[in-house]
């Protein structure tokens, strides 16, 4: 029996039309509510789900951000989804993937009419200095390949609740655009840009996208602190990302490369 969609739920048929030729790259499943689209998709990926499978939820009750933080969502306030993508090669060839995804999100938002989108290493989407959205990429090895579950969350409206303890001041699309874009149109634009960026990343790695990421990097040449597990790791001048996505930091001892892990970047 066909399940009716809720008024806010993403309609796969409508999304398919908006995607145009890119629709063949994706298979879309929508959920009224779930704990975390990334958790569910990772389970599906381990059961040989195909590349391009997309899970979109109206509501997430335990969406995951970096370092275990929760990202709660509602259809009125946010667009949250997770995408499965499979890559040839090993984990080393996926260095900088979260930054590449940031480039795709910036392109999509700018194509939707938002100007001055900023990127912050390694996975924050910024607008007017506030956190508009975030990216969480989870990698696992598969026979002869790698799989990536790419989770993206964007604020449509300013959150009423303290979803991340306000470590970063929140921002929302409603501050940049009125009216806020229809979720179908926004999601279609995001997927079109993601397909193009992921194809380029597969062929040439992050180095092919580095200049575009740097152009959106809002903390360039700022004095910053790098935290590891909440404790000060080092501090210096932020120089952006290296060709493999590592953070470049000018410290008292010279230019240092810092890989993500549990590192967090803060203004000094």
Catalytically active residues are 66, 131, 266
Integer Cα distance of 254 and 117 in angstroms: 30
- Of 106, 38, 96, 125, the C-alpha closest to 260 is 96
- Of 266, 268, 260, 267, the C-alpha closest to 102 is 260
Question: Residue 172 — φ and ψ, nearest 5°?
Answer: -145, 155
Sequence-distant (6+) residues with CB within 8 A of 156 are 76, 77, 78, 79, 172, 173, 174, 180, 183
Integer Cα distance of 185 and 206 in angstroms: 27
Exposed, middle or buried, 9 (CB in 10 Å: 0-12/13-18/19+)?
Answer: middle
Tokens 């240092």 identify what position? 256
The residues with which 85 forms a beta bridge, in sequence order, are: 148
Contact present, 71 and 164 (Cβ < 8 Å): yes
Q: Which two tokens stand for residue 103?
A: 């480039």
| DSSP sequence for 17-71 | HHHGGGGGG-EEEEEEEES-HHHHHHHHHTTTPPTTEEEEEEEEEEEE-GGG-EE
């Amino acid at each position: 029996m066909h399940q009716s969609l809720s008024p806010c739920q993403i309609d796969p048929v409508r999304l398919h039309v908006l995607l145009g030729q890119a629709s063949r790259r994706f298979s879309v499943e929508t959920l009224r509510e779930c704990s975390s689209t990334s958790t569910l998709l990772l389970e599906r990926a381990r059961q040989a789900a195909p590349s391009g499978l997309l899970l979109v939820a109206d509501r997430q009750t335990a969406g995951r951000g970096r370092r275990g933080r929760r990202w709660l969502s509602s259809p009125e306030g946010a667009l949250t989804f997770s995408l499965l993508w499979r890559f040839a090669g090993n984990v080393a060839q996926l260095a900088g993937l979260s930054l590449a995804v940031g480039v795709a999100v910036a392109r999509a938002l700018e194509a939707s009419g938002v100007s001055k989108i900023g990127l912050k290493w390694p996975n924050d989407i910024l607008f007017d200095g506030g956190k508009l959205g975030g990216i969480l990429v989870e990698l696992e090895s598969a026979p002869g390949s790698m799989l990536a579950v790419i989770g993206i969350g964007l604020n449509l409206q300013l959150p009423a609740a303290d979803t991340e303890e306000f470590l970063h001041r929140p921002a929302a699309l409603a501050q940049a655009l009125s009216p806020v874009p229809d979720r179908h149109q926004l999601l279609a634009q995001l997927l079109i840009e993601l397909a193009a960026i992921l194809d380029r990343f597969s062929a040439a790695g992050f180095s092919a996208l580095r200049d575009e990421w740097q152009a959106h990097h809002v903390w360039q040449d700022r004095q910053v602190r790098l935290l590891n597990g909440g404790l000060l790791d080092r501090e210096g001048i932020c120089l952006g990302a290296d060709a493999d996505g590592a953070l470049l930091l000018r410290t008292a001892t010279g230019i240092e490369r810092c890989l993500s892990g549990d590192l967090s970047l803060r203004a000094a």
